[in-house]
Amino acid sequence: MDTRILPLILLMALATACDRPAVPPSPPEVPDAPEHPPGPVASEVSTGRAAETRGSARPGGKDAAGAVDQALPEAFVVSTNEPFWNARVEAGRVVLNGPDVSDRRFIQDGGDSTPGERVVRARDDAGRTIDVRIATGRCEDSMSGAVFPYRGSVALDGGPAASGCARPADMPAPVPGEG
How many whole angstroms separate alpha carbon 25 and alpha carbon 140?
Answer: 43
pLDDT per residue, tens digit, the chain (179 aa), is: 566 676 666 656 555 555 555 444 444 444 444 444 444 433 333 333 333 333 333 344 444 444 444 579 999 999 999 899 999 999 999 999 998 899 999 999 999 999 999 999 999 999 999 999 999 999 999 999 999 999 999 999 999 999 999 999 999 999 887 65
Domain positions in the chain are 50-168
Candidates 142, 140, 148, 144; CA nearest to 176 is: 144
Report yes or no: 135 and 151 within 8 Å, Cβ to Cβ: yes
pTM: predicted TM-score of the whole model, two decimal places: 0.62
